Amino acid sequence: MQTVDYLIVGQGIAGSVLAWTLRQRGYSVRVIDDLRPSSSRVAAGICNPVTGRKLSKTWLADDLFPYLHQFYPALEQELQASFFYPIPVYRPYQSIEEQNFFIAQTANPVLEGYIRLAENNEAYAGLIHNALGGLETLQAAWVDLPTLLSAIRKILVQEDSLVETEFRWEEVVPGLDFVTWRTYEARQIISCEGAYGRFNPYFSWLPWAVVKGEILTLQLPEESVPGIVNQSVWIQPQGAGVYRAGATYEWNDLTWEPSEKGRTYLTEKLNKLLQVSYQIQQQVAGIRPATQGRRPFIGLHPVYRSIGIFNGLGSKGTSMAPFLAKQFADFLVHTKELDPEANIQRFHSLYFSKINE
Protein backbone atom coordinates (compact mmCIF):
# COMPACT_ATOMS: atom_id res chain seq x y z
CA MET A 1 0.00 0.00 0.00
CA GLN A 2 1.18 3.52 -0.80
CA THR A 3 -0.04 6.09 1.70
CA VAL A 4 -0.91 9.61 0.53
CA ASP A 5 -2.90 12.38 2.15
CA TYR A 6 -5.44 12.95 -0.64
CA LEU A 7 -6.57 11.16 -3.77
CA ILE A 8 -8.14 13.53 -6.29
CA VAL A 9 -10.22 12.25 -9.19
CA GLY A 10 -10.04 14.60 -12.19
CA GLN A 11 -7.47 17.08 -13.41
CA GLY A 12 -9.71 19.82 -14.80
CA ILE A 13 -9.46 23.28 -13.25
CA ALA A 14 -11.22 22.04 -10.08
CA GLY A 15 -8.92 19.05 -9.44
CA SER A 16 -5.80 20.92 -10.55
CA VAL A 17 -6.33 23.94 -8.31
CA LEU A 18 -7.39 21.81 -5.34
CA ALA A 19 -4.37 19.50 -5.78
CA TRP A 20 -2.06 22.48 -6.07
CA THR A 21 -3.54 24.16 -2.99
CA LEU A 22 -3.12 21.01 -0.88
CA ARG A 23 0.38 20.40 -2.25
CA GLN A 24 1.36 23.99 -1.37
CA ARG A 25 0.39 23.23 2.22
CA GLY A 26 2.68 20.23 2.29
CA TYR A 27 0.14 17.44 1.75
CA SER A 28 0.83 14.58 -0.62
CA VAL A 29 -1.68 14.09 -3.44
CA ARG A 30 -2.30 11.62 -6.24
CA VAL A 31 -4.40 12.97 -9.08
CA ILE A 32 -6.19 10.40 -11.23
CA ASP A 33 -7.20 11.45 -14.74
CA ASP A 34 -7.54 9.72 -18.09
CA LEU A 35 -7.65 12.81 -20.35
CA ARG A 36 -11.21 12.19 -21.53
CA PRO A 37 -13.04 15.22 -23.02
CA SER A 38 -13.31 17.87 -20.32
CA SER A 39 -15.00 21.21 -19.85
CA SER A 40 -11.79 22.95 -18.79
CA ARG A 41 -9.99 21.97 -22.00
CA VAL A 42 -12.54 23.83 -24.16
CA ALA A 43 -13.60 26.69 -21.85
CA ALA A 44 -12.79 30.30 -22.68
CA GLY A 45 -11.51 30.77 -19.14
CA ILE A 46 -13.13 34.18 -18.78
CA CYS A 47 -13.43 35.57 -15.25
CA ASN A 48 -16.15 38.21 -15.32
CA PRO A 49 -17.42 39.73 -12.06
CA VAL A 50 -20.52 41.37 -13.57
CA THR A 51 -22.71 39.47 -16.02
CA GLY A 52 -26.03 39.47 -17.84
CA ARG A 53 -28.33 42.20 -19.07
CA LYS A 54 -29.10 43.20 -15.48
CA LEU A 55 -25.41 43.61 -14.62
CA SER A 56 -25.58 41.04 -11.84
CA LYS A 57 -22.57 40.78 -9.59
CA THR A 58 -21.12 37.26 -9.49
CA TRP A 59 -21.78 35.34 -6.27
CA LEU A 60 -18.87 35.94 -3.83
CA ALA A 61 -17.21 38.34 -6.32
CA ASP A 62 -15.67 40.42 -3.52
CA ASP A 63 -13.81 37.30 -2.35
CA LEU A 64 -13.23 35.52 -5.65
CA PHE A 65 -11.75 38.33 -7.72
CA PRO A 66 -9.09 39.78 -5.37
CA TYR A 67 -8.04 36.19 -4.65
CA LEU A 68 -7.79 35.03 -8.27
CA HIS A 69 -5.81 38.14 -9.23
CA GLN A 70 -3.08 37.08 -6.86
CA PHE A 71 -3.48 33.28 -7.21
CA TYR A 72 -3.00 32.93 -10.99
CA PRO A 73 0.04 35.26 -11.32
CA ALA A 74 1.72 33.44 -8.40
CA LEU A 75 0.94 30.12 -10.11
CA GLU A 76 2.42 31.43 -13.37
CA GLN A 77 5.64 32.20 -11.52
CA GLU A 78 5.79 28.81 -9.85
CA LEU A 79 5.05 26.93 -13.06
CA GLN A 80 7.18 29.21 -15.26
CA ALA A 81 4.28 29.52 -17.72
CA SER A 82 2.02 32.30 -19.04
CA PHE A 83 -1.73 31.78 -18.89
CA PHE A 84 -3.32 34.70 -16.99
CA TYR A 85 -4.51 37.73 -18.95
CA PRO A 86 -6.26 40.59 -17.11
CA ILE A 87 -8.50 42.36 -19.64
CA PRO A 88 -11.71 44.42 -19.37
CA VAL A 89 -15.03 43.20 -20.73
CA TYR A 90 -16.59 45.75 -23.08
CA ARG A 91 -20.40 45.88 -23.12
CA PRO A 92 -21.66 47.89 -26.15
CA TYR A 93 -25.15 49.29 -25.45
CA GLN A 94 -27.84 47.51 -27.45
CA SER A 95 -30.43 50.30 -27.12
CA ILE A 96 -31.03 53.70 -25.56
CA GLU A 97 -32.87 51.95 -22.70
CA GLU A 98 -29.89 49.73 -22.02
CA GLN A 99 -27.55 52.71 -22.23
CA ASN A 100 -29.64 54.54 -19.61
CA PHE A 101 -29.76 51.49 -17.36
CA PHE A 102 -26.04 50.76 -17.61
CA ILE A 103 -25.09 54.41 -17.01
CA ALA A 104 -27.35 54.51 -13.95
CA GLN A 105 -25.65 51.37 -12.62
CA THR A 106 -22.26 53.09 -12.58
CA ALA A 107 -23.58 54.92 -9.48
CA ASN A 108 -24.70 51.67 -7.81
CA PRO A 109 -22.46 51.18 -4.75
CA VAL A 110 -22.72 47.38 -5.08
CA LEU A 111 -20.90 47.60 -8.42
CA GLU A 112 -18.30 50.15 -7.35
CA GLY A 113 -14.87 49.18 -8.64
CA TYR A 114 -16.40 46.70 -11.12
CA ILE A 115 -17.84 48.89 -13.88
CA ARG A 116 -17.17 52.22 -15.56
CA LEU A 117 -18.16 54.04 -18.75
CA ALA A 118 -15.80 53.03 -21.56
CA GLU A 119 -13.58 55.85 -22.75
CA ASN A 120 -12.13 54.04 -25.75
CA ASN A 121 -15.24 53.18 -27.76
CA GLU A 122 -13.46 54.04 -31.00
CA ALA A 123 -10.95 51.22 -30.40
CA TYR A 124 -13.81 48.75 -31.03
CA ALA A 125 -15.56 50.71 -33.79
CA GLY A 126 -13.80 48.95 -36.68
CA LEU A 127 -14.88 45.54 -35.40
CA ILE A 128 -18.41 45.81 -34.02
CA HIS A 129 -21.51 47.98 -34.09
CA ASN A 130 -21.20 50.29 -31.09
CA ALA A 131 -22.72 53.60 -32.18
CA LEU A 132 -24.14 54.19 -28.68
CA GLY A 133 -20.86 53.52 -26.87
CA GLY A 134 -20.45 51.02 -24.07
CA LEU A 135 -19.58 50.06 -20.52
CA GLU A 136 -16.42 48.40 -19.25
CA THR A 137 -16.32 45.67 -16.60
CA LEU A 138 -13.16 45.86 -14.51
CA GLN A 139 -11.25 43.16 -12.59
CA ALA A 140 -12.03 40.76 -15.46
CA ALA A 141 -9.45 38.41 -16.96
CA TRP A 142 -9.12 35.25 -18.97
CA VAL A 143 -7.09 32.18 -18.19
CA ASP A 144 -5.57 30.00 -20.90
CA LEU A 145 -6.77 26.79 -19.25
CA PRO A 146 -5.11 24.23 -21.56
CA THR A 147 -1.71 25.85 -20.88
CA LEU A 148 -2.35 25.97 -17.12
CA LEU A 149 -3.56 22.35 -17.00
CA SER A 150 -0.61 21.07 -19.04
CA ALA A 151 1.85 22.96 -16.82
CA ILE A 152 0.36 21.50 -13.63
CA ARG A 153 0.20 18.04 -15.21
CA LYS A 154 3.90 18.24 -16.05
CA ILE A 155 4.79 18.92 -12.40
CA LEU A 156 2.46 16.18 -11.17
CA VAL A 157 4.13 13.70 -13.55
CA GLN A 158 7.61 14.83 -12.45
CA GLU A 159 6.64 14.30 -8.81
CA ASP A 160 5.02 10.94 -9.53
CA SER A 161 1.69 12.40 -8.37
CA LEU A 162 -0.38 11.65 -11.47
CA VAL A 163 -2.07 8.33 -12.17
CA GLU A 164 -3.23 8.23 -15.77
CA THR A 165 -6.01 5.68 -15.79
CA GLU A 166 -9.77 5.37 -16.03
CA PHE A 167 -11.14 5.73 -12.53
CA ARG A 168 -13.99 3.48 -11.35
CA TRP A 169 -15.76 4.10 -8.03
CA GLU A 170 -16.39 0.35 -7.58
CA GLU A 171 -12.67 0.03 -6.79
CA VAL A 172 -12.94 2.38 -3.80
CA VAL A 173 -13.27 1.00 -0.29
CA PRO A 174 -14.28 3.76 2.14
CA GLY A 175 -13.23 3.35 5.77
CA LEU A 176 -13.91 5.48 8.82
CA ASP A 177 -10.65 7.47 8.83
CA PHE A 178 -9.19 6.46 5.50
CA VAL A 179 -10.10 5.19 2.07
CA THR A 180 -8.40 2.71 -0.21
CA TRP A 181 -8.23 2.59 -3.99
CA ARG A 182 -6.15 -0.06 -5.73
CA THR A 183 -2.72 0.11 -4.03
CA TYR A 184 -3.35 3.50 -2.36
CA GLU A 185 -4.53 4.44 1.09
CA ALA A 186 -5.53 8.07 1.74
CA ARG A 187 -7.29 10.11 4.39
CA GLN A 188 -9.81 11.24 1.78
CA ILE A 189 -10.66 10.84 -1.89
CA ILE A 190 -12.14 13.91 -3.57
CA SER A 191 -14.30 13.78 -6.70
CA CYS A 192 -13.41 16.57 -9.16
CA GLU A 193 -14.92 14.83 -12.17
CA GLY A 194 -16.75 17.79 -13.70
CA ALA A 195 -19.95 16.83 -15.53
CA TYR A 196 -19.08 13.11 -15.18
CA GLY A 197 -19.69 13.62 -11.46
CA ARG A 198 -23.42 13.12 -12.03
CA PHE A 199 -22.72 9.41 -12.69
CA ASN A 200 -20.65 9.02 -9.51
CA PRO A 201 -22.63 6.53 -7.35
CA TYR A 202 -21.74 8.47 -4.18
CA PHE A 203 -23.02 11.81 -5.50
CA SER A 204 -25.66 11.07 -8.13
CA TRP A 205 -28.35 12.23 -5.64
CA LEU A 206 -27.16 15.85 -5.88
CA PRO A 207 -29.35 18.13 -8.05
CA TRP A 208 -27.14 18.32 -11.15
CA ALA A 209 -28.19 20.51 -14.11
CA VAL A 210 -25.27 20.07 -16.51
CA VAL A 211 -25.31 22.18 -19.65
CA LYS A 212 -23.47 21.80 -22.93
CA GLY A 213 -21.62 24.76 -24.43
CA GLU A 214 -19.95 25.45 -27.76
CA ILE A 215 -17.32 27.93 -28.90
CA LEU A 216 -16.03 29.01 -32.31
CA THR A 217 -12.52 30.15 -33.17
CA LEU A 218 -12.60 32.94 -35.75
CA GLN A 219 -10.10 34.65 -38.00
CA LEU A 220 -10.95 38.35 -38.37
CA PRO A 221 -9.30 41.13 -40.38
CA GLU A 222 -9.06 43.27 -37.20
CA GLU A 223 -5.77 42.59 -35.38
CA SER A 224 -7.02 43.00 -31.84
CA VAL A 225 -9.27 45.04 -29.57
CA PRO A 226 -8.45 46.10 -25.99
CA GLY A 227 -11.16 44.05 -24.31
CA ILE A 228 -13.42 41.03 -24.51
CA VAL A 229 -16.63 42.19 -26.23
CA ASN A 230 -19.87 40.94 -24.71
CA GLN A 231 -23.29 41.50 -26.18
CA SER A 232 -25.36 38.33 -25.83
CA VAL A 233 -22.34 36.53 -27.33
CA TRP A 234 -18.78 37.33 -26.35
CA ILE A 235 -15.71 37.60 -28.56
CA GLN A 236 -12.32 37.21 -26.98
CA PRO A 237 -9.17 38.53 -28.73
CA GLN A 238 -6.31 36.02 -28.82
CA GLY A 239 -3.90 38.11 -30.95
CA ALA A 240 -3.02 38.13 -34.68
CA GLY A 241 -6.68 38.47 -35.71
CA VAL A 242 -7.70 35.25 -33.95
CA TYR A 243 -10.75 35.49 -31.68
CA ARG A 244 -12.85 32.98 -29.77
CA ALA A 245 -16.61 33.45 -29.75
CA GLY A 246 -19.26 31.86 -27.58
CA ALA A 247 -21.02 30.40 -25.98
CA THR A 248 -24.17 28.32 -26.33
CA TYR A 249 -26.29 26.79 -23.56
CA GLU A 250 -27.92 23.46 -24.42
CA TRP A 251 -29.63 21.21 -21.86
CA ASN A 252 -30.98 18.42 -24.11
CA ASP A 253 -28.11 17.30 -26.33
CA LEU A 254 -25.47 16.34 -23.76
CA THR A 255 -22.88 14.95 -26.16
CA TRP A 256 -19.32 16.25 -26.25
CA GLU A 257 -19.44 16.86 -30.04
CA PRO A 258 -19.93 20.25 -31.73
CA SER A 259 -23.32 20.65 -33.43
CA GLU A 260 -24.81 22.41 -36.43
CA LYS A 261 -27.37 23.99 -34.08
CA GLY A 262 -24.61 25.52 -31.95
CA ARG A 263 -22.79 26.86 -34.99
CA THR A 264 -25.96 28.43 -36.40
CA TYR A 265 -26.85 30.05 -33.08
CA LEU A 266 -23.42 31.63 -32.72
CA THR A 267 -23.08 32.79 -36.32
CA GLU A 268 -26.51 34.47 -36.21
CA LYS A 269 -25.46 36.44 -33.11
CA LEU A 270 -22.04 37.25 -34.57
CA ASN A 271 -23.55 38.48 -37.84
CA LYS A 272 -25.49 41.08 -35.85
CA LEU A 273 -22.58 42.16 -33.67
CA LEU A 274 -19.65 42.22 -36.09
CA GLN A 275 -19.02 44.83 -38.77
CA VAL A 276 -16.48 42.63 -40.54
CA SER A 277 -16.53 39.28 -42.29
CA TYR A 278 -14.92 36.30 -40.58
CA GLN A 279 -13.77 32.77 -41.15
CA ILE A 280 -14.55 29.96 -38.74
CA GLN A 281 -11.41 27.98 -37.97
CA GLN A 282 -12.61 25.64 -35.27
CA GLN A 283 -15.67 24.63 -33.25
CA VAL A 284 -15.49 22.89 -29.89
CA ALA A 285 -18.00 21.64 -27.33
CA GLY A 286 -17.96 20.76 -23.66
CA ILE A 287 -20.34 20.05 -20.80
CA ARG A 288 -20.39 22.46 -17.86
CA PRO A 289 -20.81 20.84 -14.42
CA ALA A 290 -23.74 23.09 -13.55
CA THR A 291 -26.18 22.64 -10.70
CA GLN A 292 -29.76 23.51 -9.86
CA GLY A 293 -29.51 26.68 -7.81
CA ARG A 294 -26.20 27.58 -9.52
CA ARG A 295 -24.04 26.99 -6.46
CA PRO A 296 -21.14 24.54 -6.27
CA PHE A 297 -21.16 21.07 -4.72
CA ILE A 298 -18.42 21.02 -2.07
CA GLY A 299 -18.05 18.91 1.04
CA LEU A 300 -18.03 15.36 2.33
CA HIS A 301 -20.44 12.51 1.74
CA PRO A 302 -23.15 12.43 4.44
CA VAL A 303 -22.17 8.88 5.52
CA TYR A 304 -18.78 8.03 3.97
CA ARG A 305 -16.71 10.88 5.41
CA SER A 306 -13.56 9.72 3.62
CA ILE A 307 -15.21 10.62 0.29
CA GLY A 308 -15.57 14.26 -0.73
CA ILE A 309 -16.54 16.36 -3.70
CA PHE A 310 -15.27 19.62 -5.23
CA ASN A 311 -17.50 20.15 -8.22
CA GLY A 312 -20.51 22.04 -9.59
CA LEU A 313 -18.48 25.04 -10.71
CA GLY A 314 -20.90 25.51 -13.64
CA SER A 315 -19.96 28.24 -16.07
CA LYS A 316 -17.58 29.99 -13.65
CA GLY A 317 -14.93 27.43 -12.79
CA THR A 318 -12.03 29.77 -13.56
CA SER A 319 -13.31 32.44 -11.18
CA MET A 320 -14.44 30.10 -8.43
CA ALA A 321 -11.79 27.38 -8.26
CA PRO A 322 -8.94 29.30 -6.53
CA PHE A 323 -10.90 30.81 -3.62
CA LEU A 324 -13.17 27.80 -3.10
CA ALA A 325 -10.19 25.41 -3.18
CA LYS A 326 -8.58 27.47 -0.42
CA GLN A 327 -11.81 27.33 1.57
CA PHE A 328 -12.17 23.58 0.99
CA ALA A 329 -8.54 22.93 1.99
CA ASP A 330 -9.17 24.89 5.23
CA PHE A 331 -12.22 22.72 5.81
CA LEU A 332 -10.42 19.43 5.11
CA VAL A 333 -7.33 20.23 7.11
CA HIS A 334 -8.55 22.49 9.92
CA THR A 335 -12.30 21.65 9.85
CA LYS A 336 -13.03 25.34 9.20
CA GLU A 337 -16.56 26.21 8.03
CA LEU A 338 -17.45 25.90 4.36
CA ASP A 339 -19.69 28.50 2.78
CA PRO A 340 -23.18 27.10 3.52
CA GLU A 341 -24.30 27.95 -0.03
CA ALA A 342 -21.52 25.72 -1.41
CA ASN A 343 -21.57 22.96 1.21
CA ILE A 344 -23.43 19.85 0.00
CA GLN A 345 -24.78 19.54 3.52
CA ARG A 346 -27.67 21.66 2.21
CA PHE A 347 -28.80 18.59 0.22
CA HIS A 348 -28.23 15.83 2.76
CA SER A 349 -31.99 15.33 3.11
CA LEU A 350 -32.07 14.35 -0.59
CA TYR A 351 -29.54 11.61 0.09
CA PHE A 352 -31.40 10.20 3.10
CA SER A 353 -34.76 10.27 1.34
CA LYS A 354 -33.19 8.44 -1.62
CA ILE A 355 -31.69 5.63 0.45
CA ASN A 356 -34.96 5.22 2.36
CA GLU A 357 -36.98 4.80 -0.87
Residues near ligand FAD (CB under 6 A) are 10-15, 32-36, 38-40, 42-46, 166-167, 192-196, 213-215, 246-247, 286, 288-289, 311, 313-319
- Residue 284's nearest CA partner among 253, 256, 261, 249 is 256
What is the Cα Rg of the chain in Å?
Answer: 21
Q: Burial code of 193-208, b = ≥16 C-beta within 10 A, e = fewer?
A: bbbbbbebebbebbeb
- Least distance (Å) from ligand FAD to the CB of residue 281? 16
Q: Is residue 247 reached through a cis peptide bond, with omega within 30 degrees of 0 on the bond before it?
A: yes
- Least distance (Å) from ligand FAD to the CB of residue 98? 22
The residue with its CB nearest to ligand FAD is 12
d(CA 263, CA 66): 35
Nearer to ligand FAD, 133 or 329 (CB): 329
- Least distance (Å) from ligand FAD to the CB of residue 127? 20
- Least distance (Å) from ligand FAD to the CB of residue 68? 10
Nearer to ligand FAD, 98 or 214 (CB): 214
- Least distance (Å) from ligand FAD to the CB of residue 36? 4
- Least distance (Å) from ligand FAD to the CB of residue 308? 14
Nearer to ligand FAD, 133 or 244 (CB): 244
Residue type at 233 in one-letter notation:
V
- Least distance (Å) from ligand FAD to the CB of residue 66? 17
Nearer to ligand FAD, 192 or 274 (CB): 192
Nearer to ligand FAD, 114 or 196 (CB): 196
Nearer to ligand FAD, 231 or 318 (CB): 318
Nearer to ligand FAD, 133 or 287 (CB): 287
Residue type at 321 in one-letter notation:
A
Nearer to ligand FAD, 14 or 133 (CB): 14
- Least distance (Å) from ligand FAD to the CB of residue 353? 26
Nearer to ligand FAD, 11 or 343 (CB): 11
What does the H/E/C string look like for the chain?
A: CEEEEEEEECCCHHHHHHHHHHHHCCCCEEEECCCCCCCCCCCCCEECCEECCCCEECCCHHHHHHHHHHHHHHHHHHHCCCCEEECCEEEECCCHHHHHHHHHHCCCHHHCCCEEECCCHHHCCCCECCCCCEEEECCCEEECHHHHHHHHHHHHHHCCCEECCCCCHHHEEECCCCEEECCEEEEEEEECCHHHHHHCCCCCCCCECCEEEEEEEEECCCCCCCCEEEECEEEEEEECCEEEEECCCECCCCCCCCCHHHHHHHHHHHHHHECCCCEEEEEEEEEECCECCCCCEEEECCCCCCEEEEECCCCCHHHHHHHHHHHHHHHHHHCCCCCCCCEHHHHHHHHHHHHCC
- Least distance (Å) from ligand FAD to the CB of residue 122? 26
